[in-house]
Structure 1
Amino acid sequence: MLALLWLTLVTAVTRGGGHGGALTFLALGDWGGLPEPPFVTPREVATAAAMGQAATEMGGDFVLALGDNFYYSGVRDEWDPRFQDTFERVFVSPGLRGVPWYVMAGNHDHAGNVTAQLRYSHHSPRWHFPHPYYSLRLHVPGSNASARLLVLDTVLLCGHTDDFGLGDVPAGPRDAAAAGAHLAWLRAQLEAAAGDSFVLVAGHYPVWSVAKHGPTPCLLRLLRPLLRRHRVTAYLCGHDHNLQYLEEGGVGYVLSGAGNFMEDSRPHEGSVPPGSLRFFFGSPASPGGFAHLRLEPSAVTVTFLEATGRVLHRVTLPPPPPLTPGDGGDTGTPTLGDTGGTGSPSPGVLGTLGDTGSPLNPPRRRWGQSGHWDHWFWGHSAISDPLWDTGDQTLTNDRGETPMTPDLGDPRDLGDTEDTDPWPGGTLTPAWVAPMTNDPQ
């Protein structure tokens, strides 16, 4: 059975001085050292030091880890010494002390024990990996501006790849029902984010890339239309071992995969839309790099930095214009999926379930001067881990069917119409689990 979990947590951001009026974080991918001594690369060590300096000078409320946390085959269990050798003893700069890391899994992590990485959250005060996919609500201090960061498991969605061949693409999800549930969760979260100032989505695999792996056909088919339809501000990823910024369809694509290796080849320049590539850096002589994001009420600023501290590229992304009914087929009404008629649970009114045919419109919260964010997630627990066993709540449509295999489609089909609903038809009828009420109102 596909069980649903809805959990609410609250975290207060400890803000550094001199960075008021903004929420900031660092995005780092493909940083996972080596499986043999010394379990790190010089590039990882240099990048870790530069991240600490950037957090001190530019602000760093948290780190977003974009996957491939442990090369080449993840970890064995939650006590694996790789957690110490490749993470805890490496990212030790004063600027990173006490800074929480929000983590996702990459394909190399899926080659090992991802559940162990989830459970390591109970061993480290800064390692936060609550579920294979989850949502962060970000609030810009001193303002009403809010953002939503959706952390995906693109390996769960699209499948595994061995990562060794040029242009290798994921082979398709190992668990089609799990992939369908993940996609349904993403749709619901994007619908619920209609009132946020900014929406960020992050996954390990790229949507667009000019480098070794190139665009991911599965994400072009399933994710790209959703990003455009819901006017997502940016999609963040890794997988290719360089730094890239592309812009297409109003969405910024931030690729930050230079935490451990660097590759400068661009075999897929002809595979991305003309004019979409705005920045690329992959010099093999470079000591590495990462991205820094600054969220203010008026814009999101993305800065790409080399591990030397040099600013490589900077781009400012404004919030989308106000949504009007009928714009892009989106009425602004939070519903689950695209079938309409079923209200989604409101993150703004905790403990309230969706009311069929009457979507909720929660009031905006008021927040103090210090930055806060809350995060929650709901997803299937069809994994062999009692930590996520939530009982017999199921996700079905009105004919009792669970999600079907998503259509991975043809990567050349880049139309804006998303026609890959994992349900064969009918109105969705979710059985919600009430959230824990641990949230300041």
Structure 2
Amino acid sequence: MKLIQLLTLTTLLCAPLIQAQSAQQDVFGEHYYQTNQIPSSFTKTDDDYTFLVVGDWGRNGHFAQRNVAKWMDIASYQFDADMIISTGDNFYDNGIASVNDPYWQTSYENIYHGPHLFIDWYVVLGNHDYRGNWQAQIDYSAVSRRWNMPAQYFDKLIPLEEGGLVHLVFLDTSPLNPDYQHDAKYQETLRQDSQAQLTWFEQTLKRHKNADWTIVIGHHPLYSSGKRYGKTRAVRGVIEPLLAQYEVDAYIAGHEHDLQHNKPAGSSVEHFVSGGGSEIRPVAQRKFTAFAKSSAGFAVVRVNQQQFTLEFIDDKGEVIYQYTRDKSRESGQ
């Protein structure tokens, strides 16, 4: 009798756990991903290297952060993403204190918990990250398998299936931004050797100038259709000459809390802003604006040897913008 009672009690105690595990499996089962789909008109090929880009997200799940994370997981599943890139401002308002700061759980681990978000994240620092212990974000790379920030700035070469090469360059733009030279909140950026970074940046671009695609990621946009319209001249003067000299294909930033594609006259560089990871701000149409929307969301980028495509996905899972560049058409192949 006691054995039967013990087994009954054990069953009763374990039932909620079993039900919870079953519910979790149901939530992220095949039915879930078939029911929740992003209506993209782009066709993925086996040659594509695919990554998501999100920025300005670290707000403990507030605003639209959880919804954006949900659709990032769905996008990663649907488009078979290879990595995720963060354009910075990973923790608001004042960065983090250490690798043990609770923000790692409340703003990152517990938010981006969908099963298809456990792929490699490549991350740059934003200005808000410099208000805290920026070194801890580098050090977290040794704690987390998916978090990758080997240094304040770094690059990554991606061999493509058909033999091409993508060169991703990750900048630390806060120390390069002259506007922070007299801002007490960002005095830490002045302690960094900006000239050393610029020298490295040029050498890196020169070394891999024959890559099929060169994409530079930084926090600060060089052109903005949002809050900082007309206020990006200083940082643009530092970075843009090298983008032009080495014929960089795209520059992707955050900082502005929205989604943008800017095409300045006379420039061959495509400028994108993916800073809609949580809070949003107003935008407006400018002379160089190809697209701008005050929307939470993220970007999906696909690259193969001939084609670069980018889609902006909002926090409701809708495709709100699509862009394609085809080099085979440009060369007349």
Q: Give the shorter-chain TM-score range.
A: 0.7 to 0.9
Aligned residues: 282
Aligned residue in 2 for 1:191? 206
For residue 164 of structure 2, what is the aligned residue in structure 1?
Answer: 145
Calculate percent identity across the aligned residue pairs.
Answer: 30
Which of 25, 49, 52 in structure 2 is aligned with 1:26? 52
Secondary structure in structure 2 of the residue aligned to 1:101: strand
The equivalent residue for 2:62 is 41
| Alignment of 1:289 onto 2:294 | no
Tell me which of 65, 77, 89 is aligned to 1:68. Answer: 89
What is the deviation of 1:319? 4.1
- Per-residue deviation, residues 218-243 of structure 1 (Å, max 9, x unmatched): 33212112111211110000001100
Counterpart of 2:123?
103
2:321 counterpart residue number: 313
In the alignment, the residues of structure 2 paired with residue 161 and residue 86 of structure 1 have an alpha-carbon distance, to the nearest angstrom, of 26
* 1:219–1:317 CA distance, 2 compared to 1 (3 A): farther
Is 2:167–2:208's contact at 8 Å kept on the other side of the alignment?
Answer: yes
More helix by share: 2
Deviation of the 1:76 alpha carbon: 0.3
What is the correspondence of 1:154-303 to structure 2 with a 5 Å cutoff? 154-158=173-177, 174-175=190-191, 178-214=193-229, 215-248=231-264, 249-266=267-284, 274=287, 276-283=288-295, 288-303=296-311
- What is the match of residue 139 of structure 2? 119
**d(CA) in 1 for partners of 2:104 and 2:169?**
24
CA distance in 2, matches of 1:197, 1:23: 13
Hey, what's the Cα distance between the residues in 1 that align with 2:180 and 2:320? 30
The answer (yes or no) to whether the contact 2:130–2:189 under 8 Å persists in 1 is: no
**CA contact 2:180–2:189 (8 Å) conserved in 1:** no
Secondary structure of the residue that 2:65 maps to in structure 1? Answer: helix
Distance 1:157 1:318 in 2: 32
Taking structure 1 as the reference length, the TM-score comes to 0.61
Contact 2:244 2:269 in 1 (8 A): yes
Match of 1:128 in 2: 148
Could you list the runs of 5+ residues in structure 1 that have no partner in the other structure? 1-17, 34-38, 165-169, 323-441
Long gaps (5+) in structure 2: 1-43
Deviates more, 1:72-81 or 1:215-224: 215-224
Aligned 8 A contact 2:283 2:292 in 1: no
Conservation of the 8 A alpha-carbon contact between 1:246 and 1:278? yes
Deviations 1:167-222 (A, max 9, x none): xxx8995147x000000001111111211000000100000002112352233212
In structure 2, C-alpha distance between the alignment counterparts of 1:68 and 1:277, rounded to whole Å: 24
Residues 83-123 of structure 1, C-alpha deviations (whole Å, 9 max, x = no match): 111101111112213x1100111000000000011101111
Give runs of aligned pairs for residues 370-389 of structure 1, distance below 5 A: none
Indicate the residue corresponding to 2:74 in structure 1: 53
What TM-score comes out, normalization by structure 2 length? 0.80
Tell which has more relative contact order, 1 or 2 (C-alpha 8 A, sep 6+): 1
Give the letter aligned to residue 181 of structure 1.
Answer: A
Is the contact made by 1:104 and 1:133 (CA closer than 8 Å) also made in structure 2?
yes
Which position in structure 2 is the counterpart of 1:83?
104
* Distance (Å, rounded) in 2 between the aligned partners of 1:60 and 1:19: 12
Q: Within 1, Cα distance between the matches of 2:277 and 2:179?
A: 21
Q: 1:155: Cα distance to partner?
A: 0.6
